[in-house]
Chain A
Amino acid sequence: KFHFREVERTMILSVLSSPALVSGLMVVRAKNPVHSVLFPIPVFRNTSGLLLFLGLDFFAMIFLVVHIGAIAVSFLFVVMMFNIQIAEIHEEVLRYLPVSGIIGLLFWWEMFFILDNESIPLLPTKRNTTSLRYTVYAEKVRSWTNLETLGNLLYTYYFVWFLVPSLILLVAMIGAIVLTMHRTTTVKRQDVFRRNAIDSRRTIMRRTTDPLTI
């Protein structure tokens, strides 16, 4: 666990979260669609840094690998499939204001379910009380790594939640192959056993040419 002072904590927190917020905004506001697909990459990177800061090291690395390497790459492929000329993009932002405004207000309202003023203060109230520190003494004897704690539970107690994603991945794999695959040419294949069973005495003939009648 990290031991930071208060100043360092706020500094690291703001250094990590402000590019994430700005990049998240730029996803929507960028003119070029390729830019707007590339902007989630700073978001994921900074979120991964925030997770490291919280002490979730495995999730930080998995965020980098899965979110940037798989999800952002998928979005990039989707954008590459469109044949967008930049001159075709018209900026008519106000057209989307009614519906998107309602959805934005709904999201903003849902945030208040998560942020309760006890643990995550919204308003800078002056608190004279010292926050309670709950010390887990078991972790001072032998602290478990993030991998160990996950592995302890995911495959035993919550194995159903672990096996259902495998079914989802199977469906995704088969679905992707069914939807996108078309055979252009058949690949020339060899049957290995037939190759080994060929008797060279029966398939190769020796001929000599008569040098006078070529």
Chain B
Amino acid sequence: MSEFEPISFYLVSCSLVSLIPLGLPFPFSSNSWTYPEKLSAYECGFDPSGDARSRFDIRFYLVSILFIIPDPEVTFSFPWAVSPNKIDPFGSWSMMAFLLILTIGSLYEWKRGASDRE
């Protein structure tokens, strides 16, 4: 259990690295001299006519799903990799069956072109 001591260092440094760029603009951002007109969007002098957001593209969700599916694959590989002497070849082959089933899925994804850039 004592191998978790570097993680406490990572806790502090990761928090600093993410919170310092987040908090640094706050002293320089809107102060008592800003008024709503200054903060509103500029549309050549007309009043802003609608939201600036475009519709969310569903392919971003597909990218996240295609990460989430191999994530348990890797997670299940961790205990399997540590103890090959206790699991006799039966254990190794059951892991191979698992990987084969997920390979079928990734083959489908490849042929379907789900991870193409466009």
Contact = CB atoms under 8 A, between A and B. Distances in A.
A73 B106 CA distance: 21
Given A155-B95, A162-B94, A162-B98, A169 B86 contact: no
13 contacts: A58-B78, A62-B75, A70-B68, A148-B82, A151-B83, A151-B91, A152-B86, A154-B80, A156-B88, A172-B65, A173-B109, A187-B113, A187-B118
Interface of A: 1-2, 52, 55, 57-58, 62, 65-66, 69-70, 73-74, 77-78, 80-81, 83, 85, 145, 147-148, 150-152, 154-156, 159, 162-163, 165-167, 169-170, 172-174, 176-177, 180-181, 183-185, 187
Contacts of A83: 51, 53, 55-56
B72 interface: yes
B72 A147 contact: no
Given A74-B68, A176-B62, A187 B117 contact: yes
Contacts of A170: 101-102, 104-105
B101 A167 contact: yes
B71 A173 contact: no
B64 interface: yes
Interface of B: 1, 4, 51, 53, 55-56, 58-62, 64-69, 71-73, 75-76, 78-83, 86-88, 90-92, 94-95, 97-98, 101-102, 104-106, 108-109, 112-114, 116-118
B3 to A, nearest CB: 9
Nearest to A152: B86
Given A147-B79, A173-B69, 15 more contacts: A2-B1, A57-B4, A65-B75, A70-B67, A151-B80, A152-B86, A154-B79, A155-B79, A156-B87, A156-B90, A162-B98, A163-B101, A166-B98, A169-B105, A180-B62
Given A151-B82, A172-B65, A183-B113, A163 B94 contact: yes
Contact of A187 (B1, B66, B116): B116
Contact of A152 (B73, B76, B83): B83
Contacts of A156: 86-88, 90-91, 94
Contacts of A150: 79
B61 A77 contact: yes
Contacts of A159: 90-91, 94
Interface of A is mostly: helix
Top 8 nearest A-B pairs by Cβ distance?
A151-B79, A155-B91, A151-B83, A150-B79, A173-B105, A176-B65, A70-B68, A159-B94
Contacts of A162: 76, 94, 98
B58 A180 contact: yes
B61 A81 contact: yes
Contacts of B105: 169-170, 173-174
A65 B72 CA distance: 10
Given A151-B83, A159-B94, A163-B101, A85 B51 contact: yes
Nearest to B59: A180
A81 B1 contact: no
B1 A1 contact: yes
